[in-house]
Amino acid sequence: MSADYFSQNGIKYIDYKDTEVLKKFLNPHGRIKSRLQTGLTAKHQRDVTRAVKRAREMGLIPYIIK
């Protein structure tokens, strides 16, 4: 098993302000990709989900991309 994105890059905390990182885990419509697609650990997937939702609320990333 290869390590996931955050383990590989040594990222311990998934920050809602890192929009460029979060965008890697969104599909073209702005929806959060599933674990099957992201290949993240369950914990990191939860952290990404939380960060994405915070970033959306703060207007840093969109809720939907039409």
Partner 1 sequence: MVFSLTMTEKIEKTTEENASDAQVYELGYHLLPTIAQDELEAEVAKLRSAIESRGGSFISEGTPAMNNLAYTMYVNNGGKNTKYDTAYFGWIKFEMQPGEARMLQEEDLKENKQILRFTVVKTTRDETRAKMQTEQNTVFREVQTNKTIEKPEAVKEESAEVSEEEISKSIDDLVGDTESTDSETTSEEESKEETQE
Say whether 32 sits in a helix, a strand or coil: strand
Here's the x/- map for partner 1, 5-24, by CB under 8 A: it reads as ---xxxxxxxxxxx-xx---
When asked if residue 66 is in the footprint of partner 1 (CB under 8 A), the reply is no
Beta carbon nearer to partner 1, 16 or 35: 16
Q: CB-based contacts of 66: which residues, under 8 Å, 6+ apart? A: none
* Alpha carbon 9 to its chain's center: 14
Q: How far is the CB of 64 from partner 1 (least distance, A)?
A: 9
Q: What is the closest distance, in whole angstroms, from the C-beta atom of residue 10 to partner 1 in the complex?
A: 7
